[in-house]
Amino acid sequence: MRQDPEANGLLERLERERQALLAQIELNALPEVDQMTYGDQAEAATEVYEQQRALTLRRHLETQLREVEAAIQRARRGRQGICESCGAPIPAERLAILPEARLCIACQRQRERRR
């Protein structure tokens, strides 16, 4: 992607997304599970469930953060907005929705069909 106002806008958007993800990760601290006792099993199960749910959310946020940070690096090198598979430009509409996109729509569809 060329260094122009559009590219700079994308980089700024990615930086804002990075900061928002960091804030969400900070806010979603993992709950602690109390020492297991012979007390109420339902309460203990609820605590474990909440901890697993929080851990899943945190992993999802961390994965998103890694994707955004990789996109920031690509943008700084002038490569964000170029499909990593076929080398074609990623449409601006796709980047508007998913600024960290690595693949154009056609290549993304191909990848999803293979899974």
Please state, rounded to an integer, the average pLDDT across all residues of the chain.
87
Domain ranges of the chain: 5-82
- 17-32 residue pLDDT tens: 999 999 999 988 776 6
Give residue 87's region: left, alpha or beta (phi > 0; psi -120 to 50): left
- Count CB-CB contacts under 10 A for residue 72: 19
pLDDT value of residue 41: 76
Answer yes or no: pTM beyond 0.85. no
- Count CB-CB contacts under 10 A for residue 42: 8
